[in-house]
């Protein structure tokens, strides 16, 4: 067909949070590596987070460009330069990002109309792009920052309401109709699942936009969650492509070191310290870019690490600024004297800020990963063949934990059972004791016990499957090729007037 020789142009609109932006930029680069002309719409400060990677791709002859918009921070009541959730230390500041994004919408819509792309890849948190794509007569692909299992659990809960049949928040129940026996408690469910909230209308809009899209893109691979990939397509009835693990496509050490942002620690000093450790002897601890713990909880984490006896790398975030008795803002990183003790014993490495996580996890010295169960971290841990200690806190993290601990069984939970609405919210979070944390760490790091050996065996197997998925002929490799061909076929069918090609919104428009 004539469109075979036409270079596709695909525009990407990532959301302004690290867990969404990092994989979506990776995905845009993957499209460019497969011969597609790519444009990423972003803002000034967010562009700085991945500009170097885009420049490297351009030097390789790939057609990948940025449309950079000024972020209306001051108009929304935010400090200049505050353009990402990682820059907002409180829920109140975070909420101001929403009106700022609303102010940007007309400019973004104008860019879509001016550039006239062949496809829009939009974060699912921008549901209005479904209407724009319909008006332009082009496909919209929704990007979800989670795995298939998250959507499958959400669908079952919405359909069957099993959480309404338990008598207490801590009583467990089985999520019905899924391929595996997955147990949850009401306390682990998002508020929006249990009752109507201020976000209910927005989430209905997101689901409607997804239904009216050409399909959904996942940073996952078929072999990681095959039954849930099939469930999503066959039971929920959505068209989908799995393109991950996206971090495995980029072999350059600079790509790994700068993935998502510029690291605040030298990659050479970090790797040099790891080189001095025995294989599988170091615990890597990171709770993502948004999570902040109370001082009481950080004290327990520090004590558990010390008592476990294992070497570690701990990526820590600042505790929220509070007013002290002298009306000055005070911030604390770690328990007093802890850093000096760690430095004196040379048992650990503390990183304050953004870390080169992919490089660290891939090092042979890493033997376990204490994680918040963000989807990107799970994919990166799987790719590195690392057993996990799971500590979910908010968003989709409790559902993700069940894949690790109940389905694939290569992780140990610390035992947090309370979902909270925001990464920085402290009011709901019970303090997990040092003993619980220590036991989970030792179980995951155990190379001699039967359970530890079995977990490491499973982690190694999953890592091997992940690598095969992105290699030529692998499941994700084939899916990106198929996806590009599907976009071409859509364009060709539209050109000859067959507007009903395998999607709902082309014929009927968004509801």
Q: pLDDT of the chain along its 511 residues, tens only? A: 455 668 999 999 999 998 999 999 999 999 999 999 999 999 999 999 999 999 999 999 999 999 999 999 999 999 999 999 888 867 778 889 989 999 999 999 999 999 999 999 999 999 999 999 999 999 999 999 999 999 999 999 999 999 999 999 999 999 999 999 999 999 999 999 998 887 888 889 999 999 999 999 999 999 999 999 999 999 999 999 999 999 999 877 877 777 766 666 767 788 999 999 999 999 999 998 888 888 899 999 999 999 999 999 999 875 544 433 443 344 557 888 999 999 999 999 999 888 899 999 999 999 999 999 999 999 999 999 999 999 999 989 999 999 999 999 999 999 999 998 766 666 567 899 999 999 999 999 987 788 889 999 999 999 999 999 999 999 999 999 999 999 999 988 877 655 443 443 333 333 3
Task: From 356, 350, 349, select the one nearest 252 (Cα to Cα).
Answer: 356
CA-CA-CA-CA dihedral for 265, 248, 423, 287, to nearest 10: -50
Scanning 214-330, the segments in alpha helix (DSSP H) are: 226-231, 253-257, 267-275, 295-308
Active-site annotation holds for 330: no
User: How do beta strands 329-330 and 322-323 pair?
Assistant: antiparallel
Query: In the sheet that 348-352 helps form, which strands lie side by side, from edge to edge?
Result: 348-352, 311-316, 282-286, 366-371, 388-390, 411-413
Residues 326 and 234 sit within 8 Å (Cβ to Cβ)? no
Rounded to whole angstroms, how far apart are CA atoms 495 and 248? 36
Distances from the Cα of 80 to the Cα of 17, 44, 90, 205, 465, angstroms? 17, 11, 16, 30, 44
Name 38's Cβ contacts closer than 8 Å, sequence gap at least 6: 9, 10, 11, 12, 28, 29, 31, 32, 62, 63, 64, 65
Residue 446 designated active-site: no
* Active-site residue, selected from the candidate residues 20, 155, 242, 372: 20
Exposure string for 212-244, b = 16+ CB within 10 A, e = fewer: bbbbbbbbbbbbbbeebbebbeebbebebbbbb
- Candidates 26, 123, 151, 396; catalytic one: 123
Nearest alpha-carbon partner for 28 in 151, 148, 141: 141
Q: Is 179 helix (H, G, I), strand (E, B) or coil?
A: coil
In whole angstroms, give the CA distance from residue 479 to residue 486: 10
The pTM of this model reads: 0.92
DSSP state of 236: I
Q: Are strands 388-390 and 411-413 parallel, antiparallel or unpaired?
A: parallel
Rounded-to-integer distance, Cα 480 and Cα 462, Å: 21
Task: Answer for the pair 66, 51: CB distance below 8 angstroms, yes or no.
Answer: yes
* CA distances, 350 to each of 167, 354, 373 (Å): 43, 11, 20
Do residues 241 and 482 lie in contact, with contact meaning Cβ atoms separated by under 8 Å?
A: yes
Query: b/e map of 466-478 (b: 16 or more CB within 10 Å)?
Result: bebbbeeebbbbe
* DSSP per-residue letters across 83-150: -SGGG--SHHHHHTHHHHHHHHHHHHHHHHHHH--SEEEEETT-TTHHHHHHHHT--EEEEESS-HHH
With both helix axes pointing from N to C terminus, report the angle between 434-445 and 450-470 in degrees, rounded to the nearest 10.
70
CA 399 to chain centre: 13
């Amino acid at each position: 067909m004539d469109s075979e020789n036409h270079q596709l142009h695909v525009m990407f609109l990532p959301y302004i949070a690290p867990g969404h932006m990092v994989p979506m930029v990776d995905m845009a680069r993957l499209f460019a590596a497969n011969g597609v002309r790519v444009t990423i719409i972003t803002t000034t400060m967010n562009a700085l987070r991945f500009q170097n990677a885009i420049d490297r791709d351009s030097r390789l002859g790939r057609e990948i460009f940025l449309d950079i918009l000024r972020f209306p921070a001051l108009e929304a009541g935010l400090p200049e330069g505050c353009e990402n959730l990682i820059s907002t230390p409180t829920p109140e500041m975070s909420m101001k990002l929403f009106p700022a994004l609303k102010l940007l919408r007309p400019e973004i819509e104008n860019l879509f109309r001016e550039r006239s792309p062949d496809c829009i890849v939009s974060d699912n948190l921008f549901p209005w792009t479904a209407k724009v794509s319909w008006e332009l007569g082009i496909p919209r692909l929704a990007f979800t920052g989670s795995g298939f299992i998250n959507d499958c659990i959400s669908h079952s809960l919405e359909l069957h309401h099993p959480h309404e049949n338990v008598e207490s928040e801590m009583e467990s129940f089985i999520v019905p109709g899924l391929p595996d026996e997955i147990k949850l408690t009401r306390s682990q469910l998002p508020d929006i699942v249990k009752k109507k909230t201020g976000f209910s209308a927005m989430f209905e809009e997101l689901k409607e936009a997804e239904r009216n899209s050409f399909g959904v893109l996942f940073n996952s691979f078929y072999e990681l969650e095959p039954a849930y990939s099939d469930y999503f397509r066959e039971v929920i009835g959505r068209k989908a492509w799995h393109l991950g693990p996206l971090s495995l496509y980029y072999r350059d050490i600079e790509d790994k070191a700068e993935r998502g942002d510029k690291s605040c620690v030298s990659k050479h000093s970090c790797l040099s310290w790891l080189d001095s450790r025995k294989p599988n002897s170091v615990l890597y601890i990171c709770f993502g870019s948004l999570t902040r713990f109370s001082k009481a909880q950080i004290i327990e984490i520090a004590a558990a690490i010390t008592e476990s006896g294992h070497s570690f790398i701990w990526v820590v975030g600042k505790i929220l600024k509070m007013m002290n008795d002298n009306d000055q803002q005070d911030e604390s990183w770690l328990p007093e004297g802890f850093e000096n003790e760690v430095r004196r014993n040379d048992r650990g490495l503390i990183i304050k800020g953004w870390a080169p996580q992919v490089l660290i996890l891939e090092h042979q010295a890493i033997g376990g990963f204490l994680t918040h169960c963000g989807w990107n971290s799970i994919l990166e841990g799987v790719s590195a063949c690392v057993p996990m200690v799971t500590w979910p806190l908010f968003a989709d993290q409790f559902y993700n934990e069940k894949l690790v601990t109940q389905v694939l069984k290569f992780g140990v939970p610390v035992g947090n059972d309370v979902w909270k609405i925001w990464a920085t919210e402290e009011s709901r979070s019970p303090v997990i004791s040092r003993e619980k944390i220590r036991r989970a760490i030792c179980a995951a790091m155990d190379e001699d016990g039967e359970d530890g050996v079995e977990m490491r065996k499973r982690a190694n197997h999953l890592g091997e499957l992940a690598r095969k998925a992105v290699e030529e002929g692998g499941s994700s490799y084939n899916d990106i090729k198929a996806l590009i061909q599907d976009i071409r076929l859509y364009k060709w069918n539209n050109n000859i007037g067959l507007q009903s090609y395998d999607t709902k919104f082309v014929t009927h428009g968004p509801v």
